[in-house]
Structure 1
């Protein structure tokens, strides 16, 4: 499939233009190396947490673009870590979400960029490089897929909802709790699936293709998608209705959906222990 250029999107700010330029370059790296992974490493010796040369190359392409344009901005990135966190503006970058999928030629992968001001996301740009989907939002201006406005599902009934439930399998405790949530949801929402790839699945929520997504994740993974889903009329929070914060790096159970289903699923999850 030919690549989709970010030039079809018309951002309202220089921040947005640079985010899209960086996204384009990072996505090009991912597309180039898809199906050709040679060097896979386990982060901290954990075989369930993988990183490849493509993660690093995509990150370099993104950060080089951002730091040239805004040398005084801070950065919080998946592989490089944190720098300039005292700055008013901080870029949050996941250069390849779904690395394990990437190493297995499973196309549920994404590139994610957010710009925050004083801890609040103001610009979000996310690409699914292999399907040429570019999601973009600036706070207060709506959410777009390849320049076309999008909205979350208007499904009102959990019984009729298409639900995606995933869990963090790197520890037995998270895996057990995730299975409990999946089992409980399956009794009230028969159209339930496990679709691996947090950001990829969340883009489906923003488009209204998935009614509910609940999974274990961290702030870095959802900094961009939280704004895109909010601008698309939905909500993305933890199970208590709180937004994820940059200074909290722990793994957290999130729920993303339209406001009605969001409330119902949060209440259901909180009853499971």
Structure 2
């Protein structure tokens, strides 16, 4: 199935158009509140936070999607899942990079994907700070502000800029630091990104050569899987096994660097 085969919304618009409107409207809310104070709550531990703006942006996205596609399910970060009467599910992260957002660091995004069962059909990552919109449609390629994109053309780790994130669990954070330490100094440099969805979009367009994360949720991952795949890249779990929206770990890169990484990690 491709996006062109998807049911249209109640307004008659294509799913892609509805999704783009949703992330842009959420982006307007996010940016309007970015300079000011936010109410911060802790979901689990000391690192996994949510702001009142996450909730407002999520409500805006959900209202539009439910109006246009009332039969579709919804899986979202800040609310309980909503079962649909169809096999389609929207997967929402209203602010990926909430810690950056709360601290005034301008590196975060809105992530939205559409799946039918486990099959990803549409993925969008929107950076409202820079007005950068990354999108992918199954079988149609990946785009940055309507220009086609592709993953890095580098051929080895030695040439590569690596991105990673530590997640919310202290032990997993230590593990990923170990992975990064093992790669250094055999790479160009490393970056802690603070937003997995935006890092995967950066990988899809070649800004990052390789991205690694060891503890993700579906809303962090779904849009990025499709973006990187449609941009000609490779996305697997850390051990090289096929990735799904329910995977915890991810390696995203091109085929040559993936082979180099797996060879080094197994060697």
- TM value normalised by structure 1: 0.88
**1:102-127 per-position Cα deviation (integer Å, ceiling 9, x unaligned):** 01111110100000012111011110
1:21 aligns with 2:33: no
Task: Note the C-alpha offset of 1:89.
Answer: 0.3
Counterparts of 1:128 and 1:196 in 2: how far apart (Å)? 13
1:208 aligns with 2:217: no
Which one of 245, 256, 260 corresponds to residue 256 of structure 2? 260
Counterparts of 1:186 and 1:253 in 2: how far apart (Å)? 20
**2:184 aligned counterpart, secondary structure:** helix
**1:85-108 per-position Cα deviation (integer Å, ceiling 9, x unaligned):** 673100000000000100111111
**1:50-74 per-position Cα deviation (integer Å, ceiling 9, x unaligned):** 1011100110111111010110000
**Which residue of the partner structure matches residue 167 of structure 1?**
166
**Structure 1 moving runs of 4+ over 6 Å:** none
Contact (CA 8 Å) 1:239, 1:270: kept in 2 or not? no
Cα pair distance change 1:54/1:200, threshold 3 Å: same
**Matching of residues 126-145 of structure 1 within 5 Å:** 126-145=125-144
Counterparts of 1:205 and 1:38 in 2: how far apart (Å)? 30
Counterparts of 2:28 and 2:39 in 1: how far apart (Å)? 19
Counterparts of 1:164 and 1:39 in 2: how far apart (Å)? 29
Counterparts of 2:112 and 2:103 in 1: how far apart (Å)? 24
Contact (CA 8 Å) 1:213, 1:255: kept in 2 or not? yes
Task: Note the C-alpha offset of 1:267.
Answer: 4.0
Task: Note the C-alpha offset of 1:80.
Answer: 1.1
Cα pair distance change 1:270/1:99, threshold 3 Å: farther
**Which residue of the partner structure matches residue 181 of structure 1?**
179
Contact (CA 8 Å) 1:73, 1:89: kept in 2 or not? yes
**Which residue of the partner structure matches residue 10 of structure 2?**
none
Cα pair distance change 1:183/1:86, threshold 3 Å: farther
Counterparts of 1:111 and 1:269 in 2: how far apart (Å)? 32
Cα pair distance change 1:32/1:224, threshold 3 Å: same
Contact (CA 8 Å) 2:156, 2:257: kept in 1 or not? yes
- TM value normalised by structure 2: 0.90
Task: Note the C-alpha offset of 1:18.
Answer: 1.1
List runs of 5+ in structure 2 lacking aligned partners: 7-13
**2:155 aligned counterpart, secondary structure:** coil
**Matching of residues 44-55 of structure 1 within 5 Å:** 44=44, 46-55=45-54
Contact (CA 8 Å) 1:160, 1:191: kept in 2 or not? no
**1:202-240 per-position Cα deviation (integer Å, ceiling 9, x unaligned):** 221111111111122222201011101111111222113
Counterparts of 1:16 and 1:260 in 2: how far apart (Å)? 32
**Which residue of the partner structure matches residue 62 of structure 1?**
61
